[in-house]
C-alpha cells in the first residue's frame, strides 16, 4: 500500500470516529431535550403552586417532579456514555465544562424543590432559578452544535438549538403569565417580561427556519396550533394590558396554563421530529463514511510516481464548482492515481469547512450578543430584558445589525468602570 493511501485511510477513520462521537452527542441532545421539556412543565406548575400559596396544584406538581426525575436519569446515563478520557472530541473542553456546570444545577434542584415545598421562595425567583438550570442544559446543546464537524449535522443542531431556545422562552412565558393570573393581578415587570419573551420566541423561530430542513420548516408551519394561538393571543392581551393593581380573574390561570401548554406540547412534537431527523442523519453519514473507507481500502492507485503533481491545482485552490462533484468522491476509485484520491478528499474537506463556517458564524454572533448583554447588565444594573431592549434600540437608531452593536459594546469593556 502506498504511504499516501495509508494516510487517506487514516483520515477516513478519524472522520468515522468523529461521527461516532457526534452520534453519541446527538443522543445526549435528545435526552437533554426531554429533560428540559419536563422541567419547563414543572416550572409552570411550581409557579401556580406558589402563587396560590400552596392551596392548589400540589398533586399535579408532585406527579410532574416524578416525570422530571425520570428524564434526568436518562440524561445522566448519556453523560456517563460520553468519552472523557482521550480528549478526542473536538471542542470537548467547552462541552465537558458545560456538562459539569449543568450537573451542579441538577444537584441543587433538590434544595430548590424543598424551598418551593415550604413556600420559602417567590414565583418569580423559583421561575428564575429553574430558568437558570434550563439555560445550563441548553448551553450543552449549544456546545454540541458548535463541536459538530459534519456540516449538515451542524446545521440541524443549530436549528434544533434555536427551536429549543424558542420553546424555552414559551415556557418562561407560561410561568410568568401563570404567576400573574394565579395572583389575581398583573405587575409592570411581569408585563414587560411577557413582551420580551414573545419577541424572543419569534427571533429564535426565525433562526430555526434558516437552518432547518425544508421538511421540518414546513412541518412547523403546518402544525395544528391556530386555535391555541387565538386563545393564547386573547389571554396575552388581557394580562399585558390590564393596568397594574387591577384584578385579573384567578380562574383564568388554568385556561392560561392549558393554552400555553397546548402550544408547547405542539412544539415538543416538532422537537422530537427534529431529534429523530438528526439521529437519522448521523446514522446515514456514518454508514456513508464506512462505505467510503471500504472503497479506499479496496483502491489500487496506479503504480509509479504522480507526474502531474506540479501541474495540478493544490487542494486549497480547488474551485467551488468542484464541490458537488466531490460528494461521491469515493464511488469510482479503483485504478485512479493517488493524486486523484488526495484531491477528491481535499475538495470534500474544503466544502465541509465552507459550510461549517456559515453555520458557526451564527453561533459566534449569538455568543457576542450574549456577552454584550451581560456586560450591560453588570455595568448598568439592567435586567436581561432591559439590556436586550437597549441593544436593539441602539441597532435601530444607528441602522446597524445587532451583532455590530454587540461588538461595539464589547470594544468598550476595557474602559468601563468595574461594576459595583
The mean of the pLDDT values for the chain is 80
Task: Please report the pLDDT score of residue 295 as a whole number.
Answer: 84
What is the four-CA torsion angle of 353, 357, 359, 363, rounded to 10 degrees? Answer: 130
| Residue given cell 488526495 in the structure block | 342
Burial class (CB in 10 A: 0-12, 13-18, 19+), 313: exposed
Q: Which of 116-120, 198-202, 302-306 has the highest mean pLDDT?
A: 116-120
Between CA 150 and CA 157, with CA 156 as vertex, the angle to 5 degrees is 85
Q: How confident is the model at residue 32 (pLDDT cuts 50, 70, 90)?
A: very high
Residue 10 φ/ψ, nearest 5 degrees: -65, -40
SS3 250: coil
Q: Which of 53-57, 61-65, 307-311 has the highest mean pLDDT?
A: 61-65
Flag whether pLDDT at 262 surpasses 70.
yes
Q: Which of 19-28, 90-99, 324-333 has the highest mean pLDDT?
A: 19-28
Flag whether pLDDT at 311 surpasses 80.
no
Flag whether pLDDT at 111 surpasses 90.
yes
Give me 342's grid cell: 488526495
Of the given ranges (28-42, 145-159, 334-348), which has the lowest mean pLDDT?
334-348
Domains of the chain by start residue, with CATH:
3-287 (no CATH), 313-415 (1.10.10.10)
More confident residue, 321 or 135: 135
Q: Which of 126-130, 146-150, 371-375 has the highest mean pLDDT?
A: 126-130
Between CA 215 and CA 404, with CA 140 as vertex, the angle to 5 degrees is 75
Alpha helix (H) residue ranges in 248-337? 252-298
The answer to whether 36 and 165 have CB atoms below 8 angstroms apart is no
Task: Please report the pLDDT score of residue 360 as a whole number.
Answer: 64
126 vs 18: CA distance, rounded Å: 39
Encode pLDDT of 345-385 as tens digits.
555 555 555 655 666 677 777 778 888 888 888 777 787 77
Mean pLDDT of 53-61: 91
Q: How many residues does the chain have?
A: 420
Handedness of CA 365, 370, 373, 378 (dihedral sign): negative
Mean pLDDT of 310-335: 45
Q: How confident is the model at residue 319 (pLDDT cuts 50, 70, 90)?
A: very low
Task: Please report the pLDDT score of residue 324 as a whole number.
Answer: 39
Burial class (CB in 10 A: 0-12, 13-18, 19+), 271: buried
Encode pLDDT of 272-296 as tens digits.
999 999 999 989 989 988 988 888 8
Task: Please report the pLDDT score of residue 273 as a whole number.
Answer: 95
Encode pLDDT of 150-200 as tens digits.
888 888 888 999 999 999 999 999 888 888 888 888 888 888 889 889 988
More confident residue, 130 or 250: 130
Task: Please report the pLDDT score of residue 336 as a whole number.
Answer: 46
Task: Please report the pLDDT score of residue 359 as a whole number.
Answer: 65
Task: Please report the pLDDT score of residue 120 as a whole number.
Answer: 96
Mean pLDDT of 92-106: 89
275 vs 141: CA distance, rounded Å: 12
Cα 159–chain centre separation: 7
Task: Please report the pLDDT score of residue 117 as a whole number.
Answer: 95
Mean pLDDT of 311-337: 44
Give me 317's grid cell: 485552490
Task: Please report the pLDDT score of residue 326 as a whole number.
Answer: 40
Flag whether pLDDT at 133 surpasses 90.
yes
Mean pLDDT of 106-132: 93
The answer to whether 168 and 141 have CB atoms below 8 angstroms apart is no
Encode pLDDT of 217-255 as tens digits.
999 988 876 566 788 888 898 888 888 888 887 667 788
> How large a percentage of the chain has pLDDT more than 90?
29
Task: Please report the pLDDT score of residue 170 as a whole number.
Answer: 92
The answer to whether 208 and 163 have CB atoms below 8 angstroms apart is yes
Task: Please report the pLDDT score of residue 3 as a whole number.
Answer: 64
Residue 170 φ/ψ, nearest 5 degrees: -65, -40
Task: Please report the pLDDT score of residue 178 as a whole number.
Answer: 83
116 vs 348: CA distance, rounded Å: 54
186 vs 51: CA distance, rounded Å: 12
- Quickly list DSSP for 138-203: HHHHHHHHHH--SHHHHHHHHHHHHHHHHHHHHHHHHHHHHHHHHHTS--HHHHHHHHHHHHHHHH
Mean pLDDT of 301-322: 52
Amino acid at each position: 500500500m502506498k504511504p499516501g493511501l495509508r494516510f487517506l485511510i487514516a483520515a477516513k477513520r478519524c472522520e468515522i470516529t468523529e461521527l461516532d462521537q457526534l452520534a453519541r452527542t446527538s443522543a445526549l441532545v435528545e435526552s437533554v431535550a426531554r429533560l428540559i421539556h419536563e422541567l419547563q412543565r414543572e416550572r409552570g406548575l411550581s409557579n401556580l403552586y406558589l402563587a396560590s400559596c400552596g392551596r392548589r396544584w400540589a398533586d399535579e406538581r408532585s406527579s410532574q417532579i416524578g416525570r422530571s426525575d425520570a428524564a434526568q436519569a436518562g440524561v445522566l446515563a448519556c453523560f456517563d456514555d460520553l468519552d472523557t478520557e482521550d480528549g478526542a472530541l473536538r471542542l470537548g473542553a467547552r462541552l465537558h465544562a458545560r456538562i459539569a456546570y449543568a450537573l451542579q444545577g441538577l444537584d441543587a434542584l433538590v434544595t430548590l424543590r424543598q424551598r418551593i415545598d415550604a413556600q420559602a421562595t417567590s414565583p418569580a425567583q423559583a421561575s428564575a432559578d429553574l430558568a437558570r438550570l434550563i439555560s445550563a442544559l441548553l448551553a450543552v446543546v449549544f456546545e454540541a452544535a458548535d463541536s459538530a464537524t459534519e456540516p449538515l449535522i451542524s446545521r440541524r443542531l443549530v436549528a434544533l438549538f434555536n427551536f429549543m431556545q424558542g420553546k424555552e422562552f414559551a415556557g418562561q412565558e407560561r410561568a410568568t403569565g401563570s404567576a400573574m393570573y394565579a395572583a389575581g393581578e398583573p405587575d409592570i415587570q411581569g408585563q414587560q417580561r411577557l413582551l420580551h419573551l414573545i419577541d424572543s420566541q419569534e427571533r429564535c423561530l426565525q433562526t430555526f427556519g434558516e437552518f432547518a430542513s425544508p421538511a421540518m420548516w414546513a412541518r412547523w408551519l403546518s402544525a395544528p396550533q391556530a386555535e391555541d394561538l387565538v386563545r393564547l393571543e386573547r389571554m396575552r392581551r388581557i394580562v399585558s394590558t390590564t393596568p397594574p393593581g387591577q384584578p385579573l380573574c384567578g380562574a383564568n390561570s388554568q385556561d392560561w396554563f392549558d393554552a400555553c401548554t397546548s402550544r408547547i406540547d405542539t412544539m415538543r412534537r416538532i422537537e422530537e421530529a427534529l431529534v429523530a431527523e438528526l439521529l437519522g442523519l448521523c446514522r446515514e453519514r456514518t454508514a456513508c463514511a464506512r462505505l467510503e473507507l471500504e472503497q479506499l481500502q479496496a483502491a489500487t492507485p496506479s503504480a509509479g510516481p504522480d507526474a502531474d503533481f506540479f501541474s495540478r491545482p493544490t487542494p486549497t485552490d480547488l474551485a467551488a464548482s468542484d464541490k458537488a462533484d466531490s460528494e461521491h468522491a469515493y464511488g469510482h476509485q479503483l485504478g485512479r492515481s493517488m493524486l486523484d484520491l488526495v484531491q477528491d478528499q481535499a475538495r470534500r474537506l474544503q466544502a465541509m469547512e465552507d459550510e461549517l463556517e456559515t453555520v458557526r458564524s451564527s453561533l459566534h454572533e449569538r455568543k457576542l450578543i450574549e456577552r454584550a448583554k451581560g456586560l450591560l447588565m453588570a455595568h448598568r444594573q439592567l435586567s436581561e430584558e432591559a439590556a436586550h431592549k437597549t441593544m436593539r434600540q441602539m441597532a435601530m437608531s444607528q441602522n446597524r445589525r445587532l451583532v455590530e452593536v454587540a461588538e461595539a459594546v464589547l470594544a468598550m469593556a476595557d474602559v468601563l468602570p468595574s461594576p459595583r
